[in-house]
Each structure stands twice: as C-alpha cells, then as structure tokens.
Amino acid sequence: MSGKQRGPLDGLLVADFSRILAGPYATMLLADLGANVVKVEGPKGDDTRAWMPPVRDGVSTYYLGINRGKRSIALDFRKPEDARLARVLARRADVVIENFKPGGLAKYGLDYASVSDRNPSVVYASISGFGSGAGRKVPGYDLMVQAVSGLMSLTGDPDGPAYRAGISVFDVMAGNHAAIGILAALRHRDASDQGQHVEVNLLSSALTGLVNHSSGYVAGGTVPYRMGNAHPSVFPYEPLPTADRDLIVTAANDGQFRRLCDVLGIPGIADDPRFEHNADRTRHREELRPLLVERLRMRGALEWFDLLVDAGVPCGPINTIDGGFAMADRFGLEPVVDAGEGDRAVPTTRHPIRFSETPAVYRLPPPELDEHGRELRVWLEDENA
C-alpha cells in the first residue's frame, strides 16, 4: 500500500469505548485519516444499530453513517475476563475515547487515572453532556443541550414555539472538538512523550458554537431572540421568494449588495442612503425587502442562482437532502464514497477534509457487531503483540 493510501494517522491505535453519535463521529474521522480504530461495544451493540428507519439491507443507516473504518469487538465489562481484555486494549492504545457518565468506567479500571497509570503516554478523551464537575450526574443528549444552551430559543418563527435544529448539531460539534483535542494532545505527546486527559462536553461545545450570539451576550450583554430565518446583524441574509420557490440571498457586504442590485436591474437602490451600508440595510430591512422581492419574483430560484453566482453574489436554493448531494456533484465535490470493497461496500458521505499528500481512506465498511471479535481477542491475548 502506498503512502498516499495509508492516511496521515496510519499506525495510530484508537480504543473506542464511545457510542451513539459524538464519540463515534470523532473516531470515524480518525479512521478516515488512517487510524486503526477498535470499536468496543456492549453485548447488545451500539444503541444506534437499533435506530431505524431508514435502513440499508436491514441495518440502521444512522449507525452506518458514523462507523466506517472500524473493527468491532463485543465486550461485557461486567465479566472479569472481558473487562481485562478491555484494559489490555487501553494499555496498548495511543488514544482512548469514551462517553460514559463521568466516573462510570472507574469500577472497571478503565478511567483516565487507571489507564494512564499503565499507559502514561495515552491520550484519553472523555465526552460528556455537562462536564465532570457539578454536571456530571446529568445525562447528555443533544436535544437537552439544544434546549439548555439557548439554541432552541433562537430557532423558529418569532411568534411561534422554540424548535430543535434538524440534526444533533452539538453532538457533531462535540465530536469535531474531540477530534481536534485528540490531535493537539498527540502533537504534545510527540514532543514530550507525555499523554493527557482531553475533556469535551456538549454544553461547552454548544456555547462556543453559538458564536456571534454568545459574544453578543458575553461582550455586549444582549440576549438574542428568535427571528425566524432573519439575521440580527446582516440584510439581506435570508430566504426571499422568487417566481417558484424561496432563494437564500446572502449579500453580506456593500459590494455584494451593489452587485445584487445590478443583476436585479435596480442599481440605484444601492445608492439610497437607507440602504448604502449594511447597518443601514439592516435598520431599514422592512423597506428594502419588498423592493428586492418585486424583482426576484420575475424569475425562478435556479435561474437567479446562476445569474447571481456568476455576478459574485452568494445565494442558493433551499434543497432537500437529495438536492444538496446533487449540487455537491455539480461542483465536483464527489460527496459519496464507498467504505470497503466488493459486496460489503457501503455508500457513505466523503470525509470533509481534503489532503494533497495523505488523502482520507475508506478501508472498512461499518462493522457488524463483534465482527472482528475473534481476531482481536487473539491479538489481545498475545503478550508479544
């Protein structure tokens, strides 16, 4: 296998004691980059194996979407022999990742203190809902964090109920933060031969992920409110109706707005003192919106998309998921890749990062429960491995 096929994390052993979404998403990203990820599951398997529909060949597509590139072993930590094998795996691993309740693995000798005592250079990542302090007893589910973080208060129509985002956005965000933390800790280990404990929690990921809203509160004392699809600081930056369907228009600076007006055939609008600068447009959005909509209703969304993008105005139709993949294909992003080969290959979404020298690899399809249990048990029992 050539160097370009190995991935930049080739040779790295990851013991994955996580389940559901945040942890498995993080370890899938590491597997894509060449890490050897051993997915440790309980006797009944990862919860997401049962989260269906939809399914592919009887397997949950939720599970398939976040578990490629891994090998599975089923271990029951309540059984002394299985717990021992888990400890052997953790001792050999470069990285251990888990999302049990804080302290939940201590009774099996799989907590950070126990693992690092046997494996001082280990990078041990813990993902929780609300941290390992006062929030340690609170289970962490994305929907809960969307609620308590304030995100739901920002999502929905101004006069309607609060809504969750359409995906488990903070699970994914925490998974990304975990991967970043692991890679940073590995860099430190390379320089010092010293491991460390990396902690990520969903609420902290949520608060940093609220970006401008968090800053508006922390730095400006402003508590934001629901505005539907409108942006509090930029206009136009929202869906606007066309002849057939809404089009997202994001003319976020003065140059983009002027080009928008040129394409719409109303160039003088850009010189109107009410609309000359972004702060003016935002303040007078209710006066500006009907002027833009009057022109946008003359053509369909896709026709405007081509015209406006050619002029350098960011915009996009509101697609369903199939349309999103179709647009990625149109742009040459090749969004779908097969994980594994032959009859076992599973179509999955391409790793989001492109490398010029060490591209992502998709060696293994998402594993069946304990698919690699026999070979991994033999390897774990081999004292010379």
Query: Which residue in 171, 262, 310, 370 is the catalytic one?
Result: 171
What are the tens digits of pLDDT across the range 26-55?
999 999 999 999 999 999 999 999 999 999
Give the position of tokens 């206009």. Answer: 235
Class of domain 3-209+337-381: alpha beta
Q: What is the pLDDT of residues 124-160, one digit of tens each?
A: 999 999 999 999 999 889 999 999 999 999 999 999 9
Percent of the chain with pLDDT over 70: 99
From edge to edge, which strands make up the β-sheet containing 315-317? 237-241, 246-250, 315-317
Q: Among candidates 296, 155, 291, which has minimal Cα distance to 239?
A: 296
Going from the C-alpha of 262 to that of each of 135, 238, 266, 267, 312, the distances in angstroms are 54, 19, 6, 5, 11
What is the residue-averaged pLDDT of the chain? 96
214 exposed, middle or buried (CB, 10 Å; 0-12, 13-18, 19+)?
middle
Common-topology check for domains 3-209+337-381 and 237-330: no
pLDDT at residue 336 in the model? 98
The string of pLDDT tens digits covering residues 201-236 is 999 999 999 999 999 999 999 999 999 999 999 999
Q: Which CATH number is associated with domain 237-330?
A: 3.30.1540.10
What per-residue confidence (pLDDT) applies to 384? 73
Query: Rg (Cα) of the chain, in Å, rounded?
Result: 25
pLDDT given for residue 131 in this prediction: 93
- Give the residue-averaged pLDDT of 288-311: 97
211-218 LR contacts (CB < 8 Å, sep 24+): 213/150, 213/154
Half-sphere exposure of 268 (CA within 13 A, CB side): 1
The whole-number pLDDT of residue 383 equals 79
Examine the pLDDT at 197 and tell me if it is beyond 80: yes
Angle between helices 211-218 and 202-209 in degrees, nearest 10: 90
Is 117 catalytic? The answer is: no
pLDDT at 292 > cutoff 50: yes
Mean pLDDT on 290-299: 97
Tell me the mean pLDDT in the region 60-65. 98
**Going by C-beta distance under 8 Å and a sequence separation of 6 or more, which residues neighbour residue 141?**
129
DSSP 358: S
**DSSP assignment of 294-322, as one string?**
HHHTTS-HHHHHHHHHHTT--EEE---HH
Sketch the domain layout of the chain as residue ranges. 3-209+337-381, 237-330
DSSP letter (8 states) at residue 156 = S
Distance CA 122, CA 131 (A): 21
- Say if residues 223 and 217 touch (Cβ distance below 8 Å): yes
Q: What integer pLDDT is reported at residue 2 of this predicted model?
A: 38
